[in-house]
Amino acid sequence: MNPSATLNFPAILAFSVHEMKNSLSIINEMIQQFTKNNTTNDNKELKQLEFEANRMNNNLMQLLILYKIDEAQFSPSVDEYLAIDILNEVVAQQASLFAINGLTLTLACPDDLLCYCDSSLISNAICTVVNNSQHYARTQVLLSASVTDDGYVNFSVEDDGAGYPKHFLHADAVDNTSINLNTGSTGLGLFFVATIAKMHINGGKKGFIKLSNQCPLGGAKFSLFLP
Amino acid sequence: MLNLKAQKILLIEDYSAMRMSIKKMLFLADAELIIEAADAKIALAAMEKQKFDIILCDYNLGQGKSGQQLLEEAKHRKLLPVTTIFIMITAEQTQSMVLSAMENKPDEYLTKPFNAQQLLTRIEKQILRKAYFIDIDQAIYKDNLPLAIAHCEKLLDQQETRMRTQLLKIGAELAINVGDFRTATHYYQEVLDQRELAWARLGIGIIAFLQNNFSDAIQTFKTVIQQAPMMMETYDWLTKAYEATEKNYDAQETLNQAVELSPQAILRQQKLAILAEQAGDDASAKKAFKAAIKLGKFSVHKSCRDFSGLAKVYAKAKDTNDTKEALKLIKTMREEFSRHPEAELRAAHLEIGIHLKQNNKELADQAYAKIQQIIEKNHDMPKDLLLDIAEIHLLYGNIDAGDKLIEDLIGNYVDDENFINEVLRRYKKANTNQSFAEDVFKRTKEELIKINNQGVNLFKQGNISAAFELLEAAYIKMPNNKIIIMNLAKILMRDIKASGITNDKLSKINTYLTKAATLGISQDKTGTIKMELAKLISTQTIL
């Protein structure tokens, strides 16, 4: 018998992710404790550690979801949410990291803006982008939500870094198929976010993302549009 | 800034390092009243003793009950006040775990890893939410639906756009429960005009189902499943709709799909097992009964029916190993359900079959003696078991006892077409060519029509008390008959409206309404009466 026939890969994957997530919980907690007890010293290593822990968590989550999408076992659970609740979730996840890095995270969102989406997916996706942006931002990141003239809800993440490299800005760079996974975490993150965006459909309209360097803060601007 | 100083918090987590970590997060908001529980048993004991404002519960609790089973039991035993915020914490994001964690609808669920700010933001959000809906929730908890509806309408009138969709959802569910399908449709349609949301479309399907418009309901449920395959309730409704149209194979297939997605839900496995059993699909029945037994180990829904069902499948097989397996299961069932008359009846009934097959008449006779002894003192048993026992009486030539049981069953379940057909079929088989069951069925139907017609006539003539007496006599004869119960409640309601409410009448009508609920009459059918009753109570003094 083929030995692989007895392996239930999804179960193994799920089990491993479960174990890793438990470990990550503890690691994150320890980082918080170290940070608190260690206010006088330069926290460069701790910064790096928390950043990497967050990235691992995001990657694990993306791995699972992309696996399910690939197996056609996944569809978003869409309901009505307040945009501000989704962004507050992102701020809650990222705030301590920004504090350690000495960066400012600003939130601009009307408190009655409603949007229709799978909220945990969307907040995870925005977290991925924000987590990356603080790697490139010099002093600040702006997180915002608004509604466009044609009825899309637009979530944006802007920073004051050097902006996206040119090949990212190419018209179809955000098409799932052409994102180059070799560009590292940013590439996989965007691939994930673009995939999630496309799964949000309303009538004939589909969600999408847009990257640009036309940003009032002078750096990169990521936009997610949900129909 | 959120302050948890006065909040009583129950923290349920088997992993002590994680417990410590969450406690530290709660301390950041000045939490002081934290009770810790390392497993579900300790947690439930704590919930029996006191009410908590916030319960944080890990899905994975090691040995024993899972977080989902804990929530299920707490809700079932009414250990969870409406004011309590229940947050389920999960580590995995696998579909079956997430779906399982959501089955009993915790207020919120949080995925590991999370930091203090994430936890506190969620708690704050839920505190605000609970506060907004508290009047509605309290009224629902006290089963005062008219009051809940009044509160809901009041909030809707405030035109708060941020809350509107959620209010429409609650309002529609309440309207359905009192049988006000027009308002419910209107509310769901308002949501759908804004956006095609799966739960609102499901609501439209449920309304069609409750109005016996089964083909529309089935069509709608199918659409919803395509649109939102993870919304497990839809499968349950589609199953019901298929059953109502006697498409039992489709019902079974639908549940098969559902347990594939969310295998942890015990009630669904039990339902699937019984459908498969009825269809004679032994392989599927075996699988589902096994799953139900496994899930039942720590569940409040653990049932001896699952053990006897599985044993029956084994006993049917010709293989001697299967017979051994059946006997082993019967033994386990007796151990798991000691001094449990239903389990003992099921065990003895199975034993008769097995012993007779092995030509061991003496042991079979002993088991039959046991059944006679138990059934004498315990009449109130599930209908499938009573039918089994009636069959055994007939087999032993104890025709009077068998016929008596059959007569009771037909009287009580005369409107349950599927079951009556089963009764008639098996009676014929057990008592060759005797038309007794069919005669009883015919007679009962005629009698019911007569009672109803007489009742309606008396009622029309204004002789309400005579109509009531007539139906009450029928109720004593057929205590589980749904039509009689409903008519009794309706007549009494008219009587109350006409001549005022007394404590005696109030307690009687409440008995009928409770009985209707235990017989599985859906809320929407009794809802109108409940509405009227509540309005009367609030305006009249009880004599």
pLDDT tens digits along B6-35: 999 999 999 888 899 899 999 999 999 999
pTM of the predicted model as reported, rounded to 2 decimal places: 0.86
What is residue B232's predicted lDDT score, i.e. its pLDDT? 93
Confidence of residue A185 (pLDDT cuts 50, 70, 90): very low
B199:A79 CB<8 A: yes
Of B92, B121, B162, the CB nearest to A18: B92
Which chain A residues are within 8 Å of B264, Cβ to Cβ? none
Where along chain B do the CATH 3.40.50.2300 domains lie?
Answer: 8-134
Predicted confidence (pLDDT) at residue A29 exceeds the cutoff of 90: no
A80:B95 CB<8 A: no
Q: Provide the 3-class DSSP secondary structure of residue A39.
A: coil
Predicted confidence (pLDDT) at residue B165 exceeds the cutoff of 90: yes
Give every CB contact of residue B339 below 8 A, 6+ residues apart in sequence: none
Of B17, B60, B229, the CB nearest to A26: B17
Where is pLDDT greater, at B102 or A222? A222
State residue A79 phi and psi, 5-degree precision.
-145, 180
What is residue A172's predicted lDDT score, i.e. its pLDDT? 54
Of A75, A95, A111, the CB nearest to B229: A75
In this structure, what token pair is assigned to residue A35? 């940070």
State pLDDT tens for residues A143-176. 999 999 999 999 999 999 998 888 777 655 555 5
Predicted confidence (pLDDT) at residue A112 exceeds the cutoff of 60: yes
What is residue A180's predicted lDDT score, i.e. its pLDDT? 54
Confidence of residue A182 (pLDDT cuts 50, 70, 90): low
Q: Provide the 3-class DSSP secondary structure of residue A202.
A: strand
Mean pLDDT of A3-19: 69
Give strand ranges (E) for B123-268: none
Of B21, B162, B198, the CB nearest to A26: B21
Q: How far apart are CA B88 and CA B126, in angstroms?
A: 13
Of A26, A79, A82, the CB nearest to B162: A82
Mean pLDDT check: name the lowest of B300-314, B338-352, B514-528.
Answer: B514-528
Which chain B residues are within 8 Å of A29, Cβ to Cβ? 21, 24
Where along chain B do the CATH 1.25.40.10 domains lie?
Answer: 447-539
A26:B18 CB<8 A: yes
Which chain A residues are within 8 Å of B60, Cβ to Cβ? 18
Interface contact A10, partner B, CB < 8 A:
yes
Instruction: Spell A108-123 as b/e; 16+ CB within 10 A means b.
Output: ebeeebbbbbbbbbbb
Q: How many percent of chain A have pLDDT more than 70?
A: 85
Confidence of residue B49 (pLDDT cuts 50, 70, 90): very high
Pairing of strands A140-147, A205-206: unpaired
Convert B93-105 into a string of H (helix), E (strand) and C (coil): CCHHHHHHHHHCC
Confidence of residue B100 (pLDDT cuts 50, 70, 90): confident
Q: How far apart are CA B284 and CA B291, in angstroms?
A: 11
What is chain A's length? Answer: 227
Confidence of residue A20 (pLDDT cuts 50, 70, 90): confident
B118:A28 CB<8 A: no
B197:A79 CB<8 A: yes
Where is pLDDT greater, at A28 or B402? B402
What is residue B490's predicted lDDT score, i.e. its pLDDT? 87
B228:A78 CB<8 A: yes
Q: How far apart are CA B15 and CA B58, in angstroms?
A: 9
Question: What is the chain A residue with the closest CA to B115?
Answer: A93
Show which of residues 40-79 on chain A sit within 8 Å of chain B, judged by CB atoms. Answer: 53, 57, 61, 64-65, 68, 73-75, 77-79
Which chain A residues are within 8 Å of B228, Cβ to Cβ? 75, 77-78
Give every CB contact of residue B489 below 8 A, 6+ residues apart in sequence: B509, B512, B513, B516, B526, B529
State pLDDT tens for residues B109-149. 898 888 889 999 999 999 999 999 999 999 988 878 888 99
What is residue A177's predicted lDDT score, i.e. its pLDDT? 45
| Average of per-residue pLDDT values in chain B | 90
Give the closest-approach CA distance of A215 to chain B in angstroms. 29
What is residue A1's predicted lDDT score, i.e. its pLDDT? 45
Mean pLDDT check: name the lowest of A2-11, A173-182, B345-354, B469-478.
Answer: A173-182
What is residue B30's predicted lDDT score, i.e. its pLDDT? 94
State pLDDT tens for residues A51-83. 788 778 878 878 877 877 777 677 888 999 999
Which chain B residues are within 8 Å of A53, Cβ to Cβ? 113
- Nearest CA to B272 among B300, B315, B243? B243
CA B503 to chain centre: 30
User: What is the ipTM metric for this complex?
Assistant: 0.82
Q: How far apart are CA B196 and CA B204, in angstroms?
A: 12
Q: How many percent of chain A have pLDDT more than 90?
A: 37
What is residue A39's predicted lDDT score, i.e. its pLDDT? 60
State pLDDT tens for residues B447-495. 888 888 888 888 888 888 888 888 888 888 888 888 888 888 888 888 8
Name the superfamily (CATH) of residues B447-539. Answer: Tetratricopeptide repeat domain (1.25.40.10)
Name the superfamily (CATH) of residues B8-134. Answer: Response regulator (3.40.50.2300)
Mean pLDDT check: name the lowest of A121-125, A177-181, B364-368, B464-468.
Answer: A177-181
Convert B335-403 into a string of H (helix), E (strand) and C (coil): HHCCCCHHHHHHHHHHHHHHHHHCCCHHHHHHHHHHHHHHHHHCCCCCHHHHHHHHHHHHHCCCHHHHH
